[in-house]
Chains A and B, each alone.
Chain A
Amino acid sequence: MNIECIKEKLSYAIGKAEKVTGKNITLPILNCVLLEAKDSTLTIKATNLDIGIEIKIPVKVIKSGVMAVSGGVLYNFISNITGDKNVTLEEVSGNLKVSTKHSYALIKSFAPDDFPTIPKISNESPFSFNIQSLIKGLKGVLHSASVSTLRPVLSAISLCSEEDIVVFAATDSFRLAEKKIGVKKHKEFNQILIPFKNAVEIIRILEDIKDDVEINLNQNQISFSYNDIYITSRVLDGVFPDYKQIIPKDVKTEVIVLKQDFINTLRVSTVFSDKFSQVTFNISPKEKVFKITTKNADIGENINNIDAVIKGEELSVSFNYKYIIDCFQSIDSDSISLTFSDANRPMIIRGVSDKSFLYLVMPMNK
């Protein structure tokens, strides 16, 4: 193999691919990126057997060939070279020689035959989806997915299509986030469950693209293709919990506060929270007081009053503040509404005048 290309392009592509490579996996080939040079194109492949990526970049191919080298090493070298515009990749006695005008490196290579194939989905009916909408939806709920794999469906993000919207949802059984994204005239699909770890990668890889992406789907895999980038991820087989039924419909107490006020106050009160991260809300409509209390036997205690519009019944309820804080990154509005139906049922957080996002948090046991 012998190719010459623009350093920036190569660095961009390797940077996207390299992060996907498997870390600490018994099979060293999975730490590698596979470089395939053929017909003035360089195809870069990487996978951790959960998600796979393929990126093509135009290069000048002097001699075609296939090589597998450590993705981390290649990326760190290329991305840190400054000053030179072009870079040459060349096979020298079984290893990869990467050279620029001023420096060169020899990187140990692995047998390319051992590199896994990236699955291709054969499906006649792909559909396109706006990348920014997709990313907005995924990001909106990502924080609520479960990091534990005890219940696989909870470590996934669920995508459901309904009429003109796609509903993104994630839950770890203590809180739940739902984001609706308006997508006009998309092809309807059944529920898709994308492992949230893969969703993180998908967001990272596609984030700087503004266009539409083409989606292919089958029972086991989903793939996203955009020009020269192809990503495929495993989808979970299973059923996301039917969460609609647990959203409380009756509202007994409603509090509307400025988002920034609420965040600031929570930050203050968390200084004094106990090991369970407990914060207590005391809501008194008669006295028009929304009070946030934290108490820690070893540190001290703290009481904050927030200006708020309060409706409904008096209530005292405690939460783990970590679960509450997560949702603010998904709310754009300046003021938020907190609604409660009961001290043992979930609190609903929404942006005022924003119907697209819904967040449920379970209270703590008294």
Chain B
Amino acid sequence: MMDNKKLWDSVLVEMELNLSKPNFNTWFKDTYILKQEDGAVYLSVPNTFVQDWLGSKFHNTILKCLRGLSSAAQSLHYIISKEDSKEKVQVVEKPLARKFSSTIELPIQDVYINKEDNLNPRYTFESFVVGPFNEFAYAASQAIIKKPGIVYNPLFIYGNTGHGKTHLIQAVGNHIKNGSSRKVFYTTSEKFGQEYVNALQQNKPNFFKEKYRKYDVLIMDDIQFFSGKMKIQEELFHLFNHLYENNKQIIFSSDKHPGLIQDLEDRLKSRFSAGMIVDIPTPDNESRAAIIRNKSAVSPYPVSKEIIDYIAYGVTGNIRELEGIVNSIVCQSQMKEREVTLNEVKGFIKNTVKPKKLVSTKEVVKTVAEFYNIEEQLIYDKTRKKEVIKPRQIIMYILREDFNISYPAIGEKLGGRDHTTVMHSCEKIKNDMRADDMLIAEINQLRSIFV
């Protein structure tokens, strides 16, 4: 199949032959093929006038040309372009602005979020780095784009903060929005809750219901915050059913598996599990290197491979932190007007990377006890109840693995236990983790609290 530009250029050549120059310029200026899908050609036109005119006067001629050039073309559709929302950057000279340059500009933000669908146009698949760690989630989202609402409904993406969940789900939204007339809406659980409360206060609950039911694709971010909010969960449940029955695509994201979200109603959990649940784990080192390379592409001075590798392998932290480091490298090289050396990078990374939070043993005990909903004191006691043993072992494991405390010291701090007990506990958890996915998830979650 010919590519879109080539195909349209060939059509334009034929059209130009048969039309007067002003006619051609008026009606075919700024037209291009947006995409081709299953034989349907989508033509982008600048406004309704052109849409009507091409549709009524030239539709058959264009279609004939298209069919002659590409056997795949079967039908022709017009889409009015959204060029207006883009800045016309190619105009460099600003005579007007320069004339009044001494007046300060209003601090109006340029990068904005479309209020109608809340999507940030910055998040696209083009800027999304696919690596082994997220290729599964990426594949699932690609499948959804092809058939929204049919496959993998709902799509549930979970992973720790900074792993690219929001980017991925917003990219799905942006892609669907730009490629079809489907109504997309992105919201966070917090906003959803807030709106619900507002709607109740203003006595307009139906308005709220109607608003959400009209969307074809609903994307909801960070739904772990629904934990414990029963009334909102119920509302979500009804909304979910409505959208699901009407084959509308629903996408959720959360920082943990739905099964692990506390105080979430079972009927919601089971519904979340009905579609597809994908995990975006911590990026592997190669992916981290790819991400850094991608982000550093904007730098006017190339970032050397050593630096990229150094950051990818040597610096811990999520993608957001990597982005921060890359930004400071770019900034430094712009300031110094040359490439930055590895030693310089090492120098300022010390300041950029936040130091590991110091957590006391007591805090670890407290957090884990809270997580498993048992009394803190029981950990220190000699009790051998099953519900206490597991958290106690996990505490020992975390203290040993993450905080490098010696076995005897751990034993001493946890109610004067022998160091062999501690060693046994750590081994046991390690062994259990091989088979028990739930345990891994729990420990990861606990770890994310401490980092």
Interface residues of A (CB under 8 A from B): 25-28, 30, 47, 49-50, 52, 114, 116-117, 119, 147-153, 171, 173-176, 190-191, 219-221, 232, 234, 236-239, 241-243, 246, 276, 278, 319-320, 323, 344, 346, 360, 362-365
Contacts and interface: CB of A to CB of B under 8 A. Distances in A.
22 contacts: A26-B21, A27-B23, A50-B47, A117-B49, A117-B56, A148-B94, A152-B85, A153-B84, A174-B104, A175-B106, A232-B48, A234-B48, A238-B85, A239-B112, A239-B113, A239-B115, A241-B109, A320-B102, A344-B104, A346-B106, A363-B103, A364-B104
B104 A365 contact: yes
Given A117-B52, A150-B94, A234-B48, A174 B105 contact: yes
A136 B87 CA distance: 30
A174 B100 contact: yes
Contacts of A119: 48-49, 51-52
A139 B140 CA distance: 51
Contact of A243 (B50, B103, B106, B115): B106
A100 B19 CA distance: 39
B25 interface: yes
Contacts of B114: 239
B110 to A, nearest CB: 8
A239 B120 CA distance: 12
Interface string B26-57: 10000000000000000000011111110010
B106 A173 contact: yes
Given A119-B52, A220-B80, A276-B102, A242 B91 contact: no
Nearest to A361: B103
User: What does DSSP make chain A's interface, helix, strand, loop or mixed?
Assistant: loop
A174 B106 contact: yes
B314 interface: no
Contact of B103 (A27, A151, A237, A364): A364
B88 A171 contact: no
Nearest to B50: A49
Contacts of B49: 47, 49, 52, 116-117, 119
The residue among B87, B102, B103, B105 with the most chain A CB atoms within 10 A of its own CB is: B103
B47 A234 contact: yes
A360 B104 CA distance: 12
B355 interface: no
Closest 3 CB pairs of A and B: A26-B22, A238-B85, A241-B108
Contacts of A49: 26, 47, 49-50
A26 B98 CA distance: 31
Given A241-B108, A323-B103, A148 B96 contact: yes
Contact of B23 (A114, A173, A190, A237): A114
Given A151-B87, A363-B103, A365-B102, 12 more contacts: A27-B22, A47-B49, A49-B49, A114-B23, A116-B52, A117-B52, A119-B48, A190-B116, A237-B84, A239-B115, A320-B102, A364-B104
Interface string B400-424: 0000000000000000000000000
Contacts of B104: 174, 344, 362-365
Contacts of A276: 100, 102
A150 B88 contact: yes
Contacts of A151: 87-88
Given A26-B25, A239-B115, A173 B96 contact: no
A176 B114 CA distance: 21
